[in-house]
Amino acid sequence: MYIPPPLSVRRNKLSIENFSVESLAQRFGTPIYVYSENRIRENFQRLKNAFQKYYPNFEILYAVKANNNPAIAKILADEGSGMDVCNPAEIWLSRHLGMPKSKTLYTGNYCTDEELAYGAKYCDRINLDDIALLPRLLKFGKPKVLSFRINPKIGKGSVKTNVFAGPEAKFGIPIEKAMQAYAAAKKAGIKRFGMHMMTGSCVLEPDYFEKITGILLDEAGRIARRLKIKFEFIDIGGGFGIPYRPEEKPLDIEKTAQLVTKIFREKCHQFKLGNVTLMVEPGRYFVGDAGVLIGTVHMIKESYQRFAGVDVTINHLVRPKMYGAYHHIVVANKFRKPAKYPINICGSICDSGDILAKVRPLPKLARGDLLAICNAGAYGFSMSSQYNSRPRAREVLINDSRATIIREAEKIEDLFLRCKPTL
C-alpha cells in the first residue's frame, strides 16, 4: 500500500494531518486542492539544513510559479525564503507579502519594456535572459545587482518537453556568449554581479546538480578572472525533484547538498571567487508533495474500456494531458482494498485528453468514491484554467487541526466577469 505524503492513516482513515479526506470533502466539497502547511515547512527545512551546514552563505528563493497562492508563498517567506519572480504579477505578490526588494530575483524571459520597467522599479536584483535586454533595461536605470541567466548547453527533465536548458531551450544566454554579456554589463557601468542558470526539472539524481554547478562555476571563474569582476551570488536554479511514481526514490538532498557545496567551494577557491552566496530557487521540492487534489467519482462507464468520471478535470490539473505526467491516486474510502481493477480516470471536459490516469489499477470503483490525487501541490492549481467553461477549484490549507480556505472556488459568473457587455 503506497501512501505518499502528506497523506497518512489516522484513526483508520486516509488523512491529511488531523483531517480525514472524507471529512475534508464533506466540509469543503470537491474538487478541492488541499495543502499541508507542515509538509511545506518540513520540505523547506530539509533542503535548507542540508545545504547550510556545508555552506553557510546559502540563500533560498521560492519559485513562486510552482504555486502562487499568497498563503503558500507566505509560509515560505516566514521560513526565511526570498522569491524567484518571473513577471510583474509575481513581483506584485512578493511586494504585497512584504518581501524586501533585496530578497527577490527577477528572472523574466522575452520581457516587454513594461515588464523590465516594473522589475527595475521593484527588484534590486535583475537576471537577464539575453544580452539584448541589457540596453533596454538600462533605459529604466541600473539595477543594484545584475545577473545573466546562462544556458550551459545541458538540461534534464523528467518530461521531454520540460527541459530548461540545452541546445533546444528558449532560455538563457549560450554559455559561449556569457563572457560577452558580462563585458557589456561592465562597460555599461554595472558594478555588482550575480550568475544564474536553470537547467533541470524534477531531477532525482544528486550528481546532476554537481555536474551543472561545476560547469557554471568554471565559466564564472573565467569571467571573474578575465573581466576582473566579483560575483555576489551564483544561482544554480531549481529542478529538485520529487517522486511521482511509487517506484521512484526521493532525491537524496543530503548527498545533493554535499556534492554541490563541495564543488562550489573547490571552484570558488580555484578561481579566487571569494565567499560567493550559493543560491537555489526550488518550487516543486517545497510544495509538490504537500498538495493533494481531492475529487469524487460520479459515474462508472463500461465502454470498450472502463472509465470512471470524476469531478476533477484537466482544467484543474493539466499535467497528465500536457506532459503525460503520472499522479498517484489513492481511493480514500477504499485505501486498504487491493488495487487490481484497471480503469481510466477521466473528467467531464469535451477533450479527448481529459484523462487523469490511463488504465490505472485501483480498487473497484463506484459512484461516490473519493479520490486523492497526489503530488498536486506544484504546477497544479497554478497551471489550471477555465477551459471548457469550467471554474477553478477551491484551495484549502491544513495546519494540524486547522483547515482554512485560502482561495475560493470560482463560480460560473466568474468565468464571464470581465466580458463586455456585462451579462
Ligand X SMILES: Cc1ncc(COP(=O)(O)O)c(C=O)c1O
Q: How far is the CB of 395 from ligand X (least distance, A)?
A: 18
Mark the segment that binds ligand X (CB under 6 A) among 87-95, 128-136, 233-241, 252-260. Answer: 233-241
Q: Can you give the C-alpha Rg of the chain in angstroms?
A: 23
**30 vs 104, beta carbon nearer ligand X:** 104
Helix 206-227, helix 178-187: angle, nearest 10: 40
Angle at 380 between CA 396 and CA 74, to 5 degrees: 50
C-alpha cell at 311: 469531478
374 as an active site residue: the answer is: no
What is residue 105's three-state secondary structure? strand
The number of residues making up the chain comes to 423
| Total binding residues toward ligand X, as defined by CB under 6 A | 18
Cell, residue 365: 470503483
Nearest-angstrom CA–CA distance, 400 and 61: 26
Q: Does 239 bind ligand X (CB under 6 A)?
A: yes
**Binding residue for ligand X, selected from 4, 143, 282, 363, defined by CB under 6 A:** 282
Q: Do the beta carbons of residue 343 and residue 349 sit within 8 Å?
A: no
Using CB under 6 A as the binding rule, whether residue 309 contacts ligand X is answered as no
Distance separating alpha carbons of residues 174 and 192, to the nearest angstrom: 21
CB within 8 Å of 266: residues ≥ 6 apart: none
Binding characters for ligand X, 182-211, by CB under 6 A (x = yes)? ----------------x--x----------
Q: Which stretch binds ligand X (CB under 6 A): 67-75, 95-103, 130-138, 283-291?
A: 283-291
Site string for ligand X, 146-185 (x = CB under 6 A): ------------------x---------------------
Cβ atoms of 205 and 250 within 8 Å: the answer is no
Shortest Å, Cβ 123 to ligand X: 14
Q: Which three cell numbers stand for residue 110?
A: 522575452
Of positions 88, 172, 243, 283, contacts ligand X by CB under 6 A = 283
Rounded distance between C-alpha atoms, residue 209 and residue 200, angstroms? 9
**Nearest distance from C-beta of residue 303 to ligand X, angstroms:** 37
The nearest distance, CB 225 to ligand X, in angstroms, is 27
81 near ligand X (CB under 6 A)? no
- In whole angstroms, give the CA distance from residue 270 to residue 258: 18
Nearer to ligand X, 36 or 333 (CB): 36
Min dist. Cβ of residue 402 to ligand X (A): 27
**Which stretch in 14-22, 36-44, 58-66, 135-143 sits in contact with ligand X by CB under 6 A?**
58-66
Q: How far apart are CA 34 and CA 291, in angstroms?
A: 6
Pick from 82, 238, 291, 377 the residue near ligand X by CB under 6 A: 238
Closer to ligand X by Cβ: residue 30 or 69: 69
Q: Which of 123, 350, 374, 419 is catalytic?
A: 350
Binder of ligand X out of 5, 34, 47, 65 (CB under 6 A): 65
Q: How far apart are CA 315 and CA 391, in angstroms?
A: 8
User: Rounded to an integer, what distance in angstroms lies between the CA atom of residue 300 and that of residue 306?
Assistant: 7
- CB nearer to ligand X: give 49 or 389: 49
Figure out which of the listed residues 5, 155, 172, 237 binds ligand X, where binding follows CB under 6 A: 237
Contacts with 212 (C-beta within 8 Å, 6 or more apart), sequence order: 152, 154, 197, 199, 200, 236
Rounded CA gap, 63 and 319, in Å? 18
Interface positions with ligand X (CB under 6 A): 63, 65-66, 84, 107, 164, 198, 201, 237-240, 281-285, 378
Catalytic residues: 350
